[in-house]
Amino acid sequence: MVKKKAPIPSMDELMAYLSQQSGKVGKREVARAFGLKGDDKVVLKQMLKELKSDGQVFYDKGKRLAVKGALPDRTNVEITGTDSDGELIARPLEWPGDLPMPQIIIVKDKINPPAGVGDIVQAKLTPVGNNLYEGEALRRLTAGDNHMVCVFENGFVTSVDRRLKQAFRLKNLPVERLNNRDIVIADIPMVRSRFPEATFVRKIGSETDPYAATLISIYLHNLPVMFSKAGENEAGKATVPAKSKYREDLTAVPFVTIDGADAKDFDDAVWAEPDADKSNAGGWHIMVAIADVAWYVRSGDALDMDARMRGNSVYFPDRVIPMLPEALSNKMCSLQPNQKRAAMVCEVWIDKTGHKIRHTFRRALIKSARRLTYDEVQSAMDGKTPVVGLENELSSLTGAYQALLKKRKRRGVLEIDVPERQVILNDKGVVIDIKKREINDSNKLIEELMILANVSAAETLEDKGWATMYRVHDRPSAEKIEALNAFLSSIGHSGNLRESATPNDFNAVLKRADKTAKDFAVNEFVLRSQSQAVYSPENIGHFGLALQRYAHFTSPIRRYADILVHRALIGALKLGEGALTDEEVKTFEDTARHISYMERQAASAEQDAIDRYIAGYLVDKVGAKFKARISSVNTFGLFVRLDAYGADGFVPLSSLANDYYEIDEAGAKLIGRESGRVFACGDMVDVILKECVPVTGGMVFDIIGGGKKEKGACVIKAKSKMPVKHKNKKEKRMKGKRKRG
């Protein structure tokens, strides 16, 4: 039998292989990886020479090669924050400025106390995707802020971060004695000790206080609360600008604001009418008015520095930490009804299919005719209760929305069902209900109009050649698509998704799973396969929205990126004062990185607070039974989500029935070796709430029912060593003896 000759790799395949290697490799390793021999090695040598001449790879003194910009497997990194899942993210300390910064996610942490934001650590890195690494924190080189939010009890403090369970003796009790369950800030030592001690810094409240969950999240994520005195003074002096050659009077247009019932910062108002142009029969003329924040917040002033530092507003169940002082966010920049307000107006004409014909931007003075809520508008859209006096305007807005929906469907927007939890508090800060936030057509109407204005802003700036702070969303990596395909195959939902998959391809996967037993699991895995949206001065498009150009323009009260887009439009269209400066453009890359990080911080803080509120709501239900759905599995157990509350908790592997459990990573399930019992992502199980700790938001459950039996279940072992549960101590000892023998 003639042995088949290995094919010579393409340049893309060669670069993909080199990109996945930790550190540097030699030509011998490359040839061995592709099975190349004889004359093929000569071809490989020439290919590597071309890559080197193009600057894509480099050789060190030992003639080892690596992709330019590849990180070595041992790298010193700075912890810069956490992502929306709570994982630490980091950046390399040394990095050439002409290359895009790689993203590092710290998935393992061997440091005690755990690494925190600001720490510089040595990490072991593994490339897992395009410019993406997973890291293991090995040792701390220098510490950042060692402050830790803790709960005090009987002379000891314990972190509110559930990852750190060690208790520290408080060595300098304050003159005023602390009470048990007080929340304090303490300095944690960076050296290991048999009897670790912490230094008291200050008390910030008590676990029994109303709104303690929000307070903990604010301090835990180091969110800025106070504005600078200069910034407050600037905000307090704000007045409505006069009409000028740069600002038109549109106060006669009956704009309306449509927001949630509890909203106070109204930064967008909308209006529509049928297009009077007979050549556009069935088309619509739309205006989206956005608060002219750039008029009040000028580049380099105190307000600007305060806003940039925050990056965005943060929304908790009991309060908002605004990006701008209240004098602006809730007053002068809020488009309140019957009040003259400065605005940037995007005027758009669309045809009956939702296709945008043309658009323009102008500065204006407007006067909102009415403040409406989503519920009021939805009732009118459903034909129940009309909004008296604005029937025609709402009818036109609804007509424009229906046209834009047609365009959205043709475009193929990614439609993942991600339910959002809403925590309802009474006036004493006590949780009285937890429910799924309803998203109706009234919400979607505003969403579509905002997307229309955002696209128009990005197109205008690109056409004018001005620097733009794009909102970008990269397509899923090949590795994530491969993992999704493996999961879909394991449950009989063949995906066959390719790296070039479109949002519609993912929608087809979701549609096949809709209303099946695996609906939840498929939604979860499709969501996890997606990249994270970020801000960037470089445009790569927005994959999820299926848009080539997209920039945030519609929320400058609560997002700094929108202020930058407003300033760029003012400069590009010569609309007067407050334009983007050259100095700002030079730092666009750093600003994009910073505001993307602050956005992740805000999302993490909001999620942490909700977790703590829900844990507080369920704490008196320890021992109660619940219906839950498995949301993920790992080598230590599985995570479940309560259907009724959206609460997430952990089921330790040790709590499962006596058996050896191994993990099928592709199928996201744990399999009992002897019983054949399977616990898979998306399955419904009965659980008992075993532990509930409101101060950390942590909940532990025991499974009392569920888990399907599969005869002859095939166990697919993970790459890493999988821990299994031993049936009893004797069995464990016998296994140890067999190993030693």
Q: Tell me the CATH architecture of domain 74-142.
A: Beta Barrel (2.40)
Amino acid letter, residue 629: R
> Rounded to an integer, what distance in angstroms lies between the CA atom of residue 637 and that of residue 724?
10
Same fold, 74-142 and 622-740: yes
**DSSP state letter for 653:** G
pLDDT at residue 87 above 80? no
pLDDT at 574: 97
Taking only the tens place, the pLDDT of each residue in 151-182 is: 999 999 998 988 777 788 998 877 678 999 99
> Rounded to an integer, what distance in angstroms lies between the CA atom of residue 173 and that of residue 118?
27
pLDDT at 319: 93
pLDDT at 664: 84
Question: How many CB atoms are located within 10 Å of the residue 581 CB?
Answer: 14
Four-point Cα dihedral 550, 551, 554, 559, nearest 10: 140
Amino acid letter, residue 352: K
Share of the chain above pLDDT 90, in %: 54
Taking only the tens place, the pLDDT of each residue in 322-378 is: 999 999 999 999 999 999 999 999 999 999 999 999 999 999 999 999 999 999 999
pLDDT at residue 206 above 50? yes
Taking only the tens place, the pLDDT of each residue in 50-82 is: 776 655 565 554 455 555 556 777 888 888 766
Tokens 């037993």 belong to residue: 517
pLDDT at 58: 55
**Helices marked H in 161-310 — which ranges?**
212-220, 229-236, 293-296, 302-310
pLDDT at 713: 47
Q: Tell me the CATH architecture of domain 622-740.
A: Beta Barrel (2.40)
> Rounded to an integer, what distance in angstroms lies between the CA atom of residue 210 and that of residue 489?
48
Contact 249, 364 (CB under 8 A): yes
pLDDT at 100: 64
Tokens 């190993």 belong to residue: 739
Structure tokens given for 495:
């995906």
Tokens 């239900």 belong to residue: 621
Could you tell me the residue ranges of all domains in the chain?
A: 11-67, 74-142, 147-209, 229-472+537-606, 478-530, 622-740
Taking only the tens place, the pLDDT of each residue in 89-139 is: 888 877 654 456 788 899 888 886 677 777 778 899 888 766 788 899 988
CATH topology (fold) of 11-67:
Arc Repressor Mutant, subunit A (1.10.10)
**Strand bridging mode 147-153 / 156-159:** antiparallel
Contact 671, 665 (CB under 8 A): no
Per DSSP, the three-state class of 262 is coil
